[in-house]
A and B are shown apart, each in its own frame.
Chain A
Amino acid sequence: MKKIEAVIKPFKLEDVKDALVAIDISGMTITEVRGYGRQQGHTELYRGAEYVVDFLPKVKIELVVQEDDVDEAIAAITDAAKTGKIGDGKIFVSSIEKTIRIRTGEEDEEAI
């Protein structure tokens, strides 16, 4: 089992969700987050003075999938979230030791 965490532009959430549903990924958790990367935020203008918004709003998607589905899920997210402009976000993949469905007590593959 792998956990995929993707930090994406908030307005791309709908597209990414649809892409994941289309390949039968059955669940995900999202969080509204703020952050910056190499771009170091962007500048805006207020009353004639420029300022840097360094923590930009992003959405973080978390989903846990079976090993076989990882590549497909990553491709779906990348395709849907890409604008080609700076600030498109990042995807992190990590291993998951155990998964339990609370209602039934099912574990691991059955619980995903």
Chain B
Amino acid sequence: MEDFAYIIDTFFALFAMTLIIFMVPGFAMLEAGIVRTKNVSTVLTVNMMIYSVASMAFLLVGYDIAFGSWDNDSMSKWAAFLFQMAFVGKAINIMSGGVSERVKIFPLSIFTVLMGAFIYPLIVNITWGANLLKDTFLELSMYDLAGSTVIHSTGGWALLAAIMIIGPRYKRYVKGKIRVIPASNIPLVVLGAMLLWIGWFGFNGGSVGSISTKENADLVAKTIMNTNTAGLAGAIVASLMMLFKYRKLDITMILNGALGGLVAITAGPDLYNMYLPILIGAIGGALVVFVVPFFDKLQLDDPVGALSVHLVNGIWGTLAVGIFASNGDDITFWGQLKGVLVVGVIAFTLSYVVIFIINKFLAFRAENDDQQQGLDFEECGLESYPEFVRN
């Protein structure tokens, strides 16, 4: 029986890991659809680079920093590693998507090595892992099942630092006015977002960690159901808000709303009853509709809406656990807030310093002329759609 549990949990981790890897094409397709045709090869190359480089950095260095040891009693240690490895690239994808269309691949690769080997593993260490803050006044009690804070907000903070240093796309804001740069391929955006959604079932379901008892099987299934529910609510509410605010249905915003709901539920999908995720996802979807134009007003240029989806909803989802699932003992609102703040300060500061230093030697930002020409020509030498030469 003990062998059986070990085998089932190993299989479960491998299955969840496989679902999460669907988020690699998920991010890639979403970004390929949002950016202009002249930058598509570049964002696809970046996505491939992040998966390879971040996973390799985590294999060689990061996993040890995060967890202190590879030992695992409950499942194959290789499966446990693969499951954790599947998350690393996600935090960096969140950051790279938001600086699309002006970021150069090489400096971003260096940041990816440092993020995958040190920054992200450090955040995991103090939240899910070996916990180097144990018995200090900074020790965290935050409950974050699958990473509203650990992954989504961490990626979001890194993105905020990157946008502040790299600046907006050339001619995105002209004389204080917003110049809209519309998506080039909406079908790809939909495909990407739905792949992310599917990946989320592994992301959150797998984070329960075990499916080998009846109780755990129930918990995994409830976690996946609640995850899905929050996505549905996010999509519906974002649609209604768009209709109410602009009298138009913008599918890119509806999908951002769904993803916002999914991010928001990620901190505690196992803790809620079957109805609370509707509220949590709905607020997540509504936040996206309000916050996307807000960041635009601040001239923080984020083509995919990653700050709104991942940073803002990562914070909301983590606090929601403190509001709706507080048991006054292990989980408290203040414990959740402290987690948000400590992780936020560490993730933002480290990312800012690292990007700032790399940027001194190797500029992250492509020259304006290269941005106008399209990064594909300069960075990759091949264009995704050579037959359609447009603006």
Contacts and interface: CB of A to CB of B under 8 A. Distances in A.
Interface of A: 44-51
A49 B296 contact: yes
B302 to A, nearest CB: 10
20 contacts: A45-B246, A45-B248, A46-B180, A46-B182, A46-B250, A46-B252, A47-B180, A47-B252, A47-B292, A47-B293, A47-B296, A48-B242, A48-B246, A48-B253, A48-B292, A48-B293, A48-B296, A50-B180, A51-B180, A51-B182
Contacts of B183: 46
Nearest to B248: A45
B248 A49 contact: no
User: Mostly helix, strand, loop or mixed at chain A's interface?
Assistant: strand
Interface of B: 178-180, 182-183, 242, 245-246, 248, 250, 252-253, 289, 292-293, 296, 305
Given A49-B293, A49-B296, A44 B182 contact: yes
A7 B178 CA distance: 32
Contacts of B182: 44, 46, 51
Contacts of B292: 47-48
Contacts of A45: 246, 248, 250
Contacts of B179: 51
Q: What 5 A-B pairs have minimum CB-CB distances, sorted nearest first?
A: A51-B180, A48-B293, A46-B182, A49-B180, A46-B180
Given A45-B250, A47-B253, 7 more contacts: A46-B180, A47-B180, A48-B242, A48-B253, A48-B292, A49-B180, A51-B179
Contacts of A48: 242, 245-246, 250, 253, 289, 292-293, 296
A49 B252 CA distance: 13
A87 B255 CA distance: 33
B288 to A, nearest CB: 10
Nearest to A45: B248
A50 B180 CA distance: 7
A47 B295 CA distance: 12
A2 B206 CA distance: 73
Contacts of B178: 49
Nearest to B391: A55
A44 B292 CA distance: 17
B259 to A, nearest CB: 14
Nearest to B241: A48
B248 A47 contact: no
A45 B252 CA distance: 11
Contacts of A50: 180
Contacts of B180: 46-47, 49-51
A47 B248 CA distance: 10
Nearest to A53: B182
A49 B180 CA distance: 7
A71 B26 CA distance: 57
Interface hub of B179, B180, B242, B289 (most chain A Cβ within 10 A) = B180
A67 B305 CA distance: 59
B260 to A, nearest CB: 13
A50 B177 CA distance: 11
A47 B305 contact: yes
B182 to A, nearest CB: 5
Nearest to A44: B182
Contacts of B245: 48
A48 B250 CA distance: 8
Contacts of B242: 48
Nearest to A52: B180
Contacts of B250: 45-48
A45 B179 CA distance: 12
A44 B182 CA distance: 10
Contacts of A44: 182
Contacts of A49: 178, 180, 293, 296
